[in-house]
Structure 1
Amino acid sequence: MKLGIIGGAGLLGSTTAFVVGMKDILDEIKLVDLNKSVLGSHVMDMGQALLPISKTKITMADYSDLSDCDIIVITASLPERKVDNRNEYLQGNLGIMKPICESLREFTKEAIVLTCTNPIDVFNYVTWKLLGWNKNKILGFDLNDTLRLKWSVASVTGLEYGKLNGYCIGEHGDGQVRLFDQMTYEGRPINLTDEQAISSTKLTADWFRTYQELESKRTTGWTSAVNLAEIIEAIATDSGKVIPCSIILTGENGYEGVSMGMPVSLGKDGVKEIALPELTTTQKEQLNNTAEKIKGLINSVIQ
């Protein structure tokens, strides 16, 4: 199986390539970017770094070279800047996503596409509309929200992160819905108090604000790369592992004309099935509001 990464010279693209390459699950990773000098240095450096631990080849590519790729990750975007929320990137990144999709339609076969360009839910839907490919193969990357949900709960309760299970769904942004009521620890319900849930929510919100206030002009490369690698591994190994992704909804669970985060079982053809647990009345209302918010943003860029 082969992977193509558009934006391979950037922090997220190159870090993802290296983390996935270390897993030794792919035949080749092809990197595409306008910055050929940095891209070339990544290919030369990574190619040697992986030799002792992996048979995965790292190559420099153009769009025409992606025709045999089974998975394509889009990490290209405008440079990072301080924002109040990720939707501020919408208009700027639209000018990047449209030509990328045009090139994919021209040069590649139908592949699984992982959208990482913010706002992810909107651009995942836009990508699907522009490509016209099987919706189960169009996935938006929002696993970081679930990682931070579990991190915040572990921080508030003192529980061990690795033994927590739970999901954050909805928007990769302010409209995320944290499924506190369905979380488990070692397979058993943990029953967070209202105070713990409020503290956990504040911790994740404060984390984003603090990160933005640093004005580092740097995305979360390592966190995102580790989580992207988990998704890619589930697809490449056809594992069926349940991982939250933004997916195209055309009536499923009562939602249509939108892309939102849902727990999904993943395999070699993309989404196998949606594994959404039963929601509380409050969670359902939150998700309904999030769906309408994302629809409004989608309609602002799709005529």
Structure 2
Amino acid sequence: MRKKVTIVGAGNVGATAAHWIASKELADVVLIDVVEGVPQGKGLDLLEAMPIEKRDSHILGSNDYADTANSDIVVITAGIPRKPGMSRDDLLNTNYKIMSDVVGKVVAHSPECILIIVSNPLDAMAQAAFKQAGFNRERVIGMAGVLDSARFRTFIAEELKVSVENVTAFVLGGHGDTMVPLPRYSTVAGIPITDLLDAATIERLVQRTRDGGAEIVKYLKTGSAYYAPSAAAVEMVEAILKDKKKILPCAAYLQGEYGIDGLYVGVPCKLGSRGLEQIIEIKLTAEEQSALQKSADAVKELCAVIGV
């Protein structure tokens, strides 16, 4: 029997994630949204592309959660973007209500699924989904670090004029201004970038990584990034469906790891068929640990606003 992945939210991120999953023939896809017609239209359009792509993935667009029943993975992208004049707390409260509603419906139809959270503010939404679902922490994972690391890898590869395949990078912490890129653990063909780039250049690339989302928003003006965020979520989906045991930076619920307890924070995670199979603890310098703690404190503030 083929695997089934539901994507909640048929906007740019959700629809593009459906595209990546279908084109890789990873699973059948249900694209669900509250707006009538949009998921149906995008789902049918994508389904009609499959003969050209020579893929037998089935895509269904729907407004009815009954169609999501027995999903193996549910990717949640639903939520509103921050609008001009809207405070962070307004955004947080609105998206918290959406997340609570979505998770309740998803869990009712797919009690055995694994949740991948993409909605922003990412770490707080992952925490909200975890509390609402009542799942163990292995089955609720947030997508952030894969995207942030991909941005860092892009900038390193461009700077050194090397293949992106040669570049590995690690970004820890919350998804936002307080993220913690780790140059010591970022390498080109195994060589630490600290041996290849001077400190000022590394700091410039680190800052550009932190500002990665904002840089794209500035260009688009009325929207935000969706190709890379959706590809990042799908890398997690693929690692789980194929039981790859792949180590990726994800937002996970920490229970004492890195000295942080009861909070979703970005750390290296091993993903396999059970979802989060292991949190990898790496040795951090005092400065890195302090930056990670600062990032965790920022997440904690957001969680306090919505009481999760």
TM more than 0.5: yes
1:227 matched to 2:227? The reply is: no
Deviations 1:24-75 (A, max 9, x none): 121x111111122121111211111013421111113421222210100111
Supply the distance in 1 between the matched residues of 2:263 and 2:7 (Cα, whole angstroms). Answer: 25
* Residue aligning to 1:128: 130
* Residue aligning to 1:170: 173
Computed over aligned residues only, the root mean square deviation of the Cα atoms, in angstroms, reads 2.1
1:254 matched to 2:259? The reply is: yes
Which of residues 244, 266, 283 in structure 2 aligns to 1:278? 283
Which of residues 196, 199, 222 in structure 2 aligns to 1:194? 199
Distance verdict in 2 for CA 1:205–1:176, change over 3 Å: closer
Distance verdict in 2 for CA 1:205–1:106, change over 3 Å: closer
1:68-217 correspondence to structure 2 within 5 Å:
68-79=70-81, 81=83, 89-142=91-144, 143-191=146-194, 192-214=197-219, 216-217=221-222
Distance verdict in 2 for CA 1:277–1:166, change over 3 Å: farther
Report which stretch shifted further, 11-20 or 71-80: 71-80
Report which stretch shifted further, 85-94 or 9-18: 85-94
Supply the distance in 1 between the matched residues of 2:298 and 2:241 (Cα, whole angstroms). Answer: 33
Supply the distance in 1 between the matched residues of 2:269 and 2:210 (Cα, whole angstroms). Answer: 25
* Residue aligning to 2:61: 60
Shift of 1:182: 1.3
1:41-52 correspondence to structure 2 within 5 Å:
41-52=41-52
Shift of 1:87: 7.3
Shift of 1:286: 0.4
Deviations 1:104-153 (A, max 9, x none): 23332131101111000011011101111011110111121111111222
Supply the distance in 1 between the matched residues of 2:212 and 2:277 (Cα, whole angstroms). Answer: 33
Q: Percent identity?
A: 27
Supply the distance in 1 between the matched residues of 2:212 and 2:268 (Cα, whole angstroms). Answer: 23
Distance verdict in 2 for CA 1:229–1:158, change over 3 Å: same
Report which stretch shifted further, 156-165 or 277-286: 156-165
Amino acid at match of 2:299: I
Amino acid at match of 2:288: Q
Report which stretch shifted further, 234-243 or 106-115: 106-115
Shift of 1:12: 0.9
So what's the TM-score if we normalise by structure 1?
Answer: 0.92
> Are 2:141 and 2:252, in contact at CA under 8 Å, matched by a contact in 1?
yes
So what's the TM-score if we normalise by structure 2?
Answer: 0.91
Supply the distance in 1 between the matched residues of 2:84 and 2:251 (Cα, whole angstroms). Answer: 24
Shift of 1:167: 0.8
> Are 2:168 and 2:186, in contact at CA under 8 Å, matched by a contact in 1?
yes
Report which stretch shifted further, 208-217 or 196-205: 208-217
Partner SS, residue 291 of structure 1 = helix
Shift of 1:86: 7.5
Shift of 1:21: 0.5
Partner SS, residue 37 of structure 2 = helix
Shift of 1:97: 1.0
Deviations 1:222-272 (A, max 9, x none): 112222221111111001111111011122232111101111111111011
1:15 matched to 2:16? The reply is: yes
Supply the distance in 2 between the matched residues of 1:251 and 1:83 (Cα, whole angstroms). Answer: 38
Aligned residues: 301
> Are 1:82 and 1:215, in contact at CA under 8 Å, matched by a contact in 2?
no
> Are 2:89 and 2:305, in contact at CA under 8 Å, matched by a contact in 1?
no
> Are 2:249 and 2:266, in contact at CA under 8 Å, matched by a contact in 1?
yes
Partner SS, residue 201 of structure 1 = helix
